Structure 1
Amino acid sequence: MKTWLITGCSSGFEQRLALAAAQRGNRVVATARDVKSIEEMARPFDGRMITLPLDVTDAAAAKAAVAKAVETFGGFDVLVNNAGYGLFGAIEEATSEAYRPMFEVNVFGLIETTRAALPVLRRSGGTIVNMSSGAGIAGSGGAGYYNAAKFAVEGISEALAGELKPFGIRVLIVEPGPFRTDFLGRSITMAANEMPEYAASSRRHYRETNNGNQAGDPDKAVAVILQAVDADDAPLHLPLGPAAHAIAERKLASFRSDIDAWRHISIVTDFDHS
């Protein structure tokens, strides 16, 4: 029986993941900044799910949630870092008052929760699931700050994978494309300073035209995540959906093209040996 500690369970993938894990008999510690928003979801599971308040940007709160998970279930073997939100707008349009809090949640919150959880996971082994995005694979105009946050998640996760392998801890980076969750409805903020110069690339109308129309089925995505957590051969990177796979393929092709085009020039940079 697995025990899960999941952040950001008030909506989206992680609410579905928490429910799916509990429904198959696992134990779940579901957390959210506003714990009242998730209390009802725990009632059907006869103590197999508990709900806790957790502001991931608060290191003390992260430690308290981990301690409560240990007190209740003796520990956990799956940590899911999901809490976060997006910021859309051109780089020049957004102010520090908009983008710094987004990094606090998406990047530093993930770090604080992971650091709090690692002493437990080093004893038990297990899996860290870090929710990235297709936006963490390749940058695109109008999503630069969100790209940067998810690129940071990717880098941290890849480093963790190497650091934690000796302890029997795996890292899974989940990179969803567009799925029909309420991410575009409630988890996106827009840069307040709308500049006409960036009207074509700032994603001003992306939310209105795509929210509720995404092709991806979140329940199918959750089933894949569960399968990957259970698998002995789970990958480090897990793009979800055809759009995410297309982003990855384009990025690989573009990166390879850049490397090959300038290889004969850029590779000759070592000291000469005479």
Structure 2
Amino acid sequence: MKTWFITGCSSGFGHRLALAAARRGDRVVATARNVEAIVEMAEPFDGRLITLPLDVTDAAAAKAAVAKAVETFGGFDILVNNAGYGLLGAIEEGTPGEYRPMFEVNVFGLIETTRAALPVLRRSGGTIVNMSSVAGISGGSGRGYYNAAKFAVEGISEALADELEPFGIRVLIVEPGPFRTDFLGRSVTMAANEMREYAASSRKHYRETNDGKQAGDPDKAIAVILQAVDADDAPLHLPLGPIAHAVSERKLASFRSDIDAWRDIAIATDFDQP
């Protein structure tokens, strides 16, 4: 039996993963900023799933939630940093009041929750699952701020994987493509400043034209995440869905092309040997 601590359980992958873990017999600490939205989740599980309030941007709240998890279950061995939301719009269109709060949740919230959880995980070992995105693999027009936040998640996760290996703690970076959750409809905001110069590239209509039409089955995605958490040979990076894999392949090919084209010039930058 595993014990999970999951953030952002009011909707999307966090909600589905918490229920799937509890249904298979694991213990779950499900958290959300508005705990009232998730209290009913606990009812069928006879104490194996508890719900706690957690605003991930509040370091003290993260420590309190971790302490309550330890008090209830004695600890946990899987941390899932799932809380987050998206922002669409061109870079010039975004304002500090729009992009700074997104970074507070998606990046600094992940950091605060992880820092609060690490003393527990270092004692027991386990797994940190950081929910990234295909947007953390490759940047593109109209999603630059979200790209930046998820690229930060990727870098933090890779560093953590290296730092925590001696403690027997694994890191799994989940990079979903489009899946039919309520993320687009509920968890994506749009830059309010609409500039005609970016009308063709700011992805203003992406949400309304794709919400509810994504090809990805979220329950199949959850099954893969559970399989990876259970596996002895889980990867560091886990792109989910055919689009995420196609984007990954294009990124690798483009990166390789850039490296190869300028290799001889770019590496000739050391001091000349005497």
Task: Report the TM-score, using the length of structure 2 for normalisation.
Answer: 1.00
Q: Report what 2:264 is aligned to.
A: 264
Deviation at 1:14, TM superposition (A): 1.0
Following superposition of structure 1 onto structure 2, how do residues 110-125 of structure 1 map, counting pairs within 5 Å? 110-125=110-125
Secondary structure in structure 2 of the residue aligned to 1:135: helix
Deviation at 1:253, TM superposition (A): 0.2
| Whole-Å separation in 1 of the counterparts to 2:231 and 2:217 | 22
Q: Which runs of 4+ in 1 moved over 6 A?
A: none
Deviation per CA, 1:47-74, whole angstroms, max 9, x where unpaired? 0000000000000000000000000000
Corresponding residue pairs, total: 274
Following superposition of structure 1 onto structure 2, how do residues 121-136 of structure 1 map, counting pairs within 5 Å? 121-136=121-136
Following superposition of structure 1 onto structure 2, how do residues 222-241 of structure 1 map, counting pairs within 5 Å? 222-241=222-241
| Whole-Å separation in 2 of the counterparts to 1:191 and 1:264 | 42
The aligned amino acid for 1:191 is A
- Find out whether 1:202 has 2:202 as its counterpart: yes
Q: Which runs of 5+ in 1 are unaligned?
A: none
| Whole-Å separation in 1 of the counterparts to 2:197 and 2:250 | 27
| Whole-Å separation in 2 of the counterparts to 1:189 and 1:21 | 29
Deviation at 1:113, TM superposition (A): 0.1
- Find out whether 1:162 has 2:162 as its counterpart: yes
Deviation per CA, 1:184-203, whole angstroms, max 9, x where unpaired? 00100000100000011101
Q: Report what 1:19 is aligned to.
A: 19
| Whole-Å separation in 1 of the counterparts to 2:175 and 2:237 | 7
Following superposition of structure 1 onto structure 2, how do residues 52-131 of structure 1 map, counting pairs within 5 Å? 52-131=52-131
| Whole-Å separation in 2 of the counterparts to 1:107 and 1:32 | 16
Q: Which runs of 5+ in 2 are unaligned?
A: none
Deviation at 1:38, TM superposition (A): 0.4
- Find out whether 1:47 has 2:47 as its counterpart: yes
| Whole-Å separation in 2 of the counterparts to 1:200 and 1:268 | 40
Task: Report the TM-score, using the length of structure 1 for normalisation.
Answer: 1.00
Deviation at 1:264, TM superposition (A): 1.1
Deviation per CA, 1:162-215, whole angstroms, max 9, x where unpaired? 000000000000000000000000100000100000011101100010000000
Q: Report what 1:189 is aligned to.
A: 189
- C-alpha RMSD of the superposition: 0.3
